[in-house]
Structure 1
Amino acid sequence: MMLATNRHERAGLLETARAYIEQVLHAPLHIEGPVATSSLPSFLGQRYALVGAEIFGRECVLMIPNGDLDETPATVAKHREALQRHLTGRTAVLVTDRLSNHNRARLISQRVPFIVPGNQLFIPELAMDLREHFRSDRAEPADSLTPTAQLIVLALLMDRINIETTPTELATQFRYSAMSMSRAISELEALGLLDAETSGRYRNVRFPLSRAEVWSRVQPLLRTPVRKRRRVRRPLANFKWPRAGESALAERTNLSHPRLETYAIAAADWKAIARQYDLDRRAAWDEAVIELETWTYDPLLLGDADLVDPISLWLSLPNNTDDRIGAAKDELLKDVGL
């Protein structure tokens, strides 16, 4: 029924699941790491790798078959029920890369949540039953780019990628799964922003348009990378997050520095960083605070340890009536030739 996995295969399966959730739901699957099994029945730890995760703000535990298992759907349902009894407010979800039609139907009938990356998603606790054939491209272009596609476009506008490349090279450069990058390439191809040619098992990509043409076409589709802004206590330990917001704008232009410093991190890293620097604790009245933006993509992929990249910064700053900020934003685009 299910494919056995070793540690390396599990890592690949988790990355594929993460990319699949992002593509289908336009929302991140946050992977939080292994779940402690000391308080669980021993057979659960023997049969499954248990990994903490979060989807749409709901805490989940991903059940990944571990070893040469060939359990029936009824047995999997019993295993999940046993695990669910030990979880508080979390949903156990089976993750596997293959299910037969028969076993899939039996799992659905028993209300067992599961993810088959690239194929099917069934999580009734999240009111989701998204079935079959999500492998096909979008029938119509969306009104905005997905975060991965936007990342590629911004890299192109800043001359960070080759005019002729492959999805594999882009996936390696930006640390995305091959599946996620391939979908982003298809998305940009549908918009006429690139030419893709398949030769055997390989897919070659070419960006034929000038930077000005690309900017003209994509500007209405670009969105702010900022998912959330938080005011948090300034960490006492050294941290290396790129400056963002008006702090970065002041570094790149003649704008005066704001009183509140702003930094950016990837949204997927928020929980780990919050634990590491104790950011969830409310700041005392005499503690310094900063503004921390969580982004839909890692700001370090296009920026550096000191500053976020200028185009993402331009997108992240809201339009307002402050003429000084508006003029500084215009200066950002001029500096990159747009």
Structure 2
Amino acid sequence: MLSRLTDSEKTLLASAASYVEHVLQTPLIVDGPAASAKLPAFLTQRYVLVDGEILGRPCILMLGTGLHDDTPATIAKHRDLLRRQSRGRAVILVTERLSNHNRHRLISQHVPFIVPGNQLFVPELGADLREHFRSERDTPGDGLTPTAQLIVLAALMGRIGPETTPSELASQFRYSAMSMSRAITELEAFELAETEVAGRFRHLRFTVPREALWSRARPHLRTPVRKRRRVRRPPQGLALPLAGETALAEKTDLSFPRVETRAMAASEWKALATRYELDQPVSWDEPVIELETWTYDPLLLGDDKLVDTISLYLSLPDSTDDRIEAAKDALLRQVGL
């Protein structure tokens, strides 16, 4: 029984379960001690073997609290032996610490490991993780969530560095660290970025060239526009950047439309509508605008005058007007895409 574990082994196991849930946003289920009757004695003496499950995938956790003298090659041999005796199960080393040198050696030998609070390397679960995060969407064909799309666009625009963390992104874009962590996991599941856990922080990297990132992300990007409304013109001075065909005309040679279009965050619509009675019927002689409410704040990537170019491109619906389609193509050329 797991009750026979020492206090240090119980702490290591609990820390591993907590760490997996924090990083992968899915629980590490501990089922009990692994069957060990057919295993060599040196394996059961050196490791505590625990049956577990991640994303419905059975696994065996090799808890090692005294592996400081073992080389990565030795650990790899032990893990391979256990895997041959436990076909169909992922075999994962769990230890309280690893030196940088040993970590790289284990990675080079494809040995999965968990160092709670510090490092996690389980490539065998990569496909399972992608399916897991895709299945969390409302429908299988859905694209990126607004937060994940925001990060991709920021990367394409050079607004974030080549390496960043959820906390840094949360501070920059005024989201919670948890929301950013989920978005980063989503980007990794879609193979748009890579992550690595180092120390207490999870690092995000975009490793492909900008044009390749756009090509890879484009099928998953969606219009940021949640709804369009004809409303009375709000007072001057509000931070409502130009959007839609108005912004397209501002950025290209297209003629300006008769009705001006502006954008705002959907989360701010109710307060603005109540304050300025924008949701009330409009008289025939009142000046109106078309107001787009967006899934993310257009001011995060644009400014109070114009929405950003890439979001503008995504927000414009397909048109039968060749002039509009040509202007949209010009937008992408402006930003080198």
Matched residue, 2:132: 139
User: How much has 1:237 moved relative to structure 2?
Assistant: 4.8
Secondary structure of the corresponding residue to residue 132 of structure 2: coil
User: How much has 1:244 moved relative to structure 2?
Assistant: 0.3
Secondary structure of the corresponding residue to residue 330 of structure 2: helix
Alpha-carbon separation, structure 2, partners of 1:270 and 1:221: 26
What are the within-5 Å matches in structure 2 for residues 148-187 of structure 1? 148-187=147-186
Matched residue, 1:42: none
Alpha-carbon separation, structure 1, partners of 2:261 and 2:317: 14
Larger RCO (CA within 8 A; separation ≥ 6): 1
Higher-Rg structure is 2
User: How much has 1:239 moved relative to structure 2?
Assistant: 2.2
User: How much has 1:232 moved relative to structure 2?
Assistant: 0.3
Amino acid at match of 2:232: R
User: How much has 1:167 moved relative to structure 2?
Assistant: 1.1
Moved over 6 A (4+): none
- 5+ residue gaps, structure 1, are 1-22, 24-135
1:197 aligns with 2:190: no
Tell whether the 8 Å contact from 2:133 to 2:186 is kept in structure 1 after alignment. no
User: How much has 1:299 moved relative to structure 2?
Assistant: 0.3
User: How much has 1:238 moved relative to structure 2?
Assistant: 3.4
Matched residue, 2:324: 325
TM-score by length of 1: 0.58
User: Kindly, what percent of the aligned residue pairs are identical?
Assistant: 66
User: How much has 1:138 moved relative to structure 2?
Assistant: 5.3
User: How much has 1:192 moved relative to structure 2?
Assistant: 1.7
Tell whether the 8 Å contact from 1:137 to 1:183 is kept in structure 2 after alignment. no
1:140-186, Cα deviation, whole Å (9 max, x unpaired): 53531000000000111111110111111011101110111000000
Secondary structure of the corresponding residue to residue 286 of structure 1: coil
What are the within-5 Å matches in structure 2 for residues 1-338 of structure 1? 139=132, 141=134, 143=141, 144-338=143-337
Alpha-carbon separation, structure 2, partners of 1:138 and 1:151: 22
User: How much has 1:320 moved relative to structure 2?
Assistant: 1.2
Tell whether the 8 Å contact from 2:261 to 2:292 is kept in structure 1 after alignment. yes
Amino acid at match of 1:303: G
User: How much has 1:221 moved relative to structure 2?
Assistant: 0.5
Tell whether the 8 Å contact from 1:243 to 1:264 is kept in structure 2 after alignment. yes
Tell whether the 8 Å contact from 1:137 to 1:186 is kept in structure 2 after alignment. no
| CA separation of 1:286 and 1:239: change in aligned 2, threshold 3 A | same
- 5+ residue gaps, structure 2, are 1-24, 26-128, 135-139
User: How much has 1:264 moved relative to structure 2?
Assistant: 0.3
1:249-268, Cα deviation, whole Å (9 max, x unpaired): 01000101100000000000
| CA separation of 1:187 and 1:236: change in aligned 2, threshold 3 A | closer
Tell whether the 8 Å contact from 1:244 to 1:264 is kept in structure 2 after alignment. yes
Count of aligned pairs between the two proteins: 204
| CA separation of 1:278 and 1:138: change in aligned 2, threshold 3 A | farther
Question: How big is the alpha-carbon RMSD for the aligned residues of Structure 1 and Structure 2?
Answer: 1.6
1:257-314, Cα deviation, whole Å (9 max, x unpaired): 1000000000000001101211012111110010000000000000000000111100
User: How much has 1:323 moved relative to structure 2?
Assistant: 0.4
1:207-232, Cα deviation, whole Å (9 max, x unpaired): 11111110111111111000000000
1:19-39, Cα deviation, whole Å (9 max, x unpaired): xxxx9xxxxxxxxxxxxxxxx
| CA separation of 1:222 and 1:234: change in aligned 2, threshold 3 A | same
Matched residue, 2:98: none
